[in-house]
């Protein structure tokens, strides 16, 4: 349902938006338990795509161990259907650059390629796909994740999914104010997007086991600490599902 619409007639326009029935749940979280309205909530799934997670993708090709990057896939497959059924929106936020890279400054173009001698954004992989290019295999979701027709996809071009994208506009048109975060990497693109969301006034909840990273464990520990300390809350998919069935 389009939540940001008018009712139009030949001689009358009703500016009231459609009412949405609240879907209230209370769940265990840290540092406190949470009560939220799933009808005003979106799950933002960040960068669970081949270049970050697949053994033939970009990070693996430059020597990064991606063996744990797909850990969120199965818990996501179990958690998204009941969240959708309860009224939550799902947004797939994948890094997918312009083929000409015209909007990328050098500091972004050379992420993971600091001296220009390795494979960088937009370069070709051994399988012929171009790194993080929109519409390519590299930018596609990993196997096992299939969007539903009512889901929304947004392309991103920076660590944060809010910078230079339509993500904020899409979420506001959905009438959403609470965001559940999933994806990779926990300490990089997930955290950057979450912190920007908090600065924009969204309520933010990081779902721990729906996120993963190729960074050392201490990076995750620091991220969880900072989310709980200054940005919002953390929970788990099991706690979410328990709240949905309570």
For the stretch 167-179, pLDDT in tens is 999 999 999 999 9
- Residue 37: count other Cβ atoms within 10 Å of its Cβ: 17
- Residue 227: count other Cβ atoms within 10 Å of its Cβ: 25
34 close to 79: Cβ distance less than 8 angstroms: no
Confidence tier at 130 by pLDDT (50, 70, 90)? very high
pLDDT exceeds 70 at position 1: no
Pair type for strands 24-27 and 89-95: unpaired
119 close to 63: Cβ distance less than 8 angstroms: no
- Name the pTM for this structure: 0.94
pLDDT exceeds 80 at position 145: yes
* Nearest-angstrom CA–CA distance, 81 and 151: 11
Q: What is the mean pLDDT of the chain?
A: 95
**Which residues belong to the active site?**
47, 156, 189
Which domains are present in the chain?
A: 39-245 (3.40.50.850)
């Amino acid at each position: 349902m389009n939540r940001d619409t008018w009712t139009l007639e030949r001689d009358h326009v009703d500016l009231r938006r459609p009412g949405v029935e609240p879907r209230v749940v209370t769940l265990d979280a840290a540092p406190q338990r949470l009560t939220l309205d799933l009808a005003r909530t979106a799950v933002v799934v960040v960068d669970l795509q081949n270049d970050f997670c697949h053994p033939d993708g970009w990070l693996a090709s430059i020597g990064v161990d991606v063996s744990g990057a797909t850990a969120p896939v199965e818990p996501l497959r179990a958690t998204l259907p009941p969240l959708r059924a309860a009224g939550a929106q799902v947004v797939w936020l994948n890094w997918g650059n312009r083929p000409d890279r015209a909007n990328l400054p050098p500091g972004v173009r050379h992420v993971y390629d600091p001296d220009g001698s390795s494979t960088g954004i937009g370069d070709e992989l051994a399988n012929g796909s171009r790194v993080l290019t929109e519409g390519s295999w590299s930018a596609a979701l990993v196997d096992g994740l299939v969007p539903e027709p009512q889901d929304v996809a947004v392309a991103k071009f920076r660590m944060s999914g809010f910078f230079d994208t339509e993500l904020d506009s899409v979420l506001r048109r959905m009438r959403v104010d609470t965001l559940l975060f999933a994806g990779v990497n926990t300490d990089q693109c997930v955290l950057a997007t979450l912190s920007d969301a908090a600065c924009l006034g969204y309520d933010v909840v990081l779902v721990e086991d729906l996120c993963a990273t190729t960074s050392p464990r201490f990076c995750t520990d620091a991220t969880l600490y900072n989310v709980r300390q200054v940005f919002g809350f953390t929970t788990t998919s099991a706690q979410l599902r328990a709240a949905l069935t309570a």
